[in-house]
Amino acid sequence: MTLALARKYRPTNFASVAVQSHVANTLKGAIARDRVAHGYLLCGPRGTGKTTLARVLAMALNCETLTAARRDGTPTDGEPCGRCSSCQRIWSGSASLDVVEIDAASNRGVDDARDLRERAMYAPSADERYKVYIVDEAHMLTREAWNALLKVLEEPPPRVVFVFATTDPQKIAQAAAPVLSRLQRFDLKRIAPAEIRERLAHVLRQEGVSFEDDALGMIARAADGGLRDALSLTDQVLSLGDTSEVTSERVRTALGLVPEEEFVALLDVIAERRAADVFTHVQALADGGVDFAQVLAGLADVLRAMLAYTLGGTPPEISETLAHALEARRGRFAAPDLLRMLHALLELEPQYRKSGQPQLLLESLLVRFALLDRTVELEDVLRGFDTGDDPPARRAARLDDPKGASAYAAAPRLRDAVVREPAPAPPAVAPASSAPRAPVAPVPARPVAAASAPDAPAPPAPASARDVPARATPSIDALRSGWSAVADAMRQAGRGMVAESVRRVRPHRIADGVLTLVHDPGDDTFSTAVENSRDAVLAAIAHVIGPVKALRLESEGSGAPAASTAGRRLTTADVKSETIERLAQQDPLLAAAVKVLDLELLDS
């Protein structure tokens, strides 16, 4: 009978154990330097080499060649020869007096543990040999069984080594935490698909079987990090008809995988918002007898790869055919939409496992994706503002762009909101004397027309207040509405640090021409910057809004009028509400967006 590939190509020494070199080198070094521990715990996913390493360790401890070298005092590298009778028996799993393998899943009780403890008291078959007990699925042992083994693990008999292998070390920590301190723990890595492909290619060349790279990639992904599983799946594919070639079609048929073109077709249905076609596609998959759990897993992989392309990256471990298909659809999805779909898939997974109607769940999910509201950037919405004077060329350009069309469609409601709540008009210009002076036109803070012409620069602040014509003192509403424009004017004048400080303070009241500015408690640095640049700030206020005589700065809450929240404990909701109100006072467009779109402040 032909030997299975997973058994035929099981490593016979430490060097041939794939990927786990950090464990193999340590064990090999311990044998070469005669520093073998009495207990080891090998942890890792299934099929990654735990039992293989345990057997290779047992082979090395009892290898006749290494034993003879140790007897003669000859240095060794710790690798078993793999050819002596002892190595052959251990590698093949045949009966051996000194190497015992136990399946803890079926021998998990306290009586089994006591029996193992009693057997460990017997000496090896020869003075230079070791007794090695390999306990697989060790996490299945009961708490009582671990307690029975605790003493022998702490003080084992001479030349006795215990090797425990488990896929779930956390269960051992919960059931018998003291055991972990008696063992040397090694965590094995999940084997990457590229490593699995390389190993499969080597095995198939040894077997004289030709293969397609995409076919090996499909097997590697289905193996989910386990090399043993990959070899078993390869055996399954070779059992299907002709054994001279491994093709993608044969892998798909043997493993029951969903064709990649089906996922591409579902992507097109979602992108083109053809929700009615979802039922036809899903029914075709059901008629083909596919597992809907595989459909969900495959769809998640395709959406993940599509997200990588959308963000400008290259997804790893996908076939060339799928890569070309996704590259051609790079611009059809926005990254936030793909993230929302992936998040919905993750939310559905626990519900799907318990559901008796998986087809209905899949159909409803895909319909939801097809009807998903597309993400529109707030900036694009605000660019849709105008004053009724929208040039046809610009309107056509916006409607030709899908994102621009969505933004423009959302803009009328915002325009109406701004019309209903206009920014306060700036005060009229009042001449200071009869001497003829050139009037300075007032510049309102962020007018509605500026949203459709964002490139218009704010006028620079004058050098000093003496260059500004006399005008009426502005109201507090005008100051609040135009305050962000004051900061913009400071920035245009090359005073970037002062501009940022101006943004961090806000007008509170004006009396007798003295403007009181308040700042958050702890923002003294910004108020100091404004204080040190008082003349420049006064000039910018006069130029943009209207003249004020002097500035006064105080911390919010320091005075009775400004401390609207004094005497009560502020909650997170209060802070967010006050922050939104303050931002809305500074920017009428933002105020309209908050009102119409029901925006929420995520981080204040």
Q: Is the same domain home to 23 and 168?
A: yes
Q: Are residues 349 and 484 in the same domain?
A: no
456 inside domain: no
> 384, 345, 387: which is closest to 366 by C-alpha?
345
pTM above 0.85, yes or no: no
Q: Which of 213-217, 229-233, 354-358 has the lowest mean pLDDT?
A: 354-358
Let me know whether 176 and 236 are in one domain: no
Instruction: Tell me what pLDDT residue 347 has.
Output: 87
124 in the same domain as 89: yes
Q: Report how many domains make up the chain.
A: 4
- Residue 425 domain flag: no
Report how far residue 121's alpha carbon sits from residue 116's, in angstroms, rounded to the nearest whole number: 9
**Interacting residues of 116 by C-beta distance below 8 A, sequence separation 6+:** 102, 133, 135, 149
Report if residue 439 sits inside a domain.
Answer: no
* pLDDT for 335 beyond 70: yes
Q: Are residue 249 and residue 279 in the same domain, yes or no?
A: no
User: Which of 126-135, 279-288, 378-387 is predicted with the least confidence, judged by mean pLDDT?
Assistant: 378-387
Query: Which of the listed residues 132, 166, 187 is the one where a domain comes to its end?
Result: 187
**565 C-beta neighbours (distance < 10 Å), count:** 13
- The CATH number covering residue 158 comes to 3.40.50.300
Domain range for 100? 5-187
- 124 and 79 fall within a common domain: yes
d(CA 316, CA 339): 18
DSSP-assigned letter for residue 290: -
Identify whether 423 is part of a domain: no
Domain termination residue (choose one: 218, 236, 255): 255
In a domain, 162, yes or no: yes
* Residue 417 included in any domain: no
Are 144 and 206 part of one and the same domain?
Answer: no
Cβ neighbour number for residue 240 with a 10 Å cutoff: 13
The angle that helices 64-72 and 85-92 make with each other, rounded to 10 degrees, is 140
20 with 132, same domain: the answer is yes
Q: What is the pLDDT of residues 276-327, one digit of tens each?
A: 999 999 999 998 888 888 899 889 999 999 999 999 888 877 888 888 899 8
Report the mean per-residue pLDDT for the chain: 79
Is residue 214 located within the same domain as residue 247?
A: yes
Whether 310 and 366 map to the same domain: the answer is yes
Q: Are 183 and 38 found together in one domain?
A: yes
Question: Are 39 and 19 members of one domain?
Answer: yes
Write down which residue in 221, 255, 289 finishes a domain: 255
Q: How many helices (H) and strands (E) does the chain have?
A: 28, 10
Tens of pLDDT, residue by residue over 46-104, are 889 999 999 999 999 999 999 888 888 888 889 999 889 899 888 887 777 889 999 99
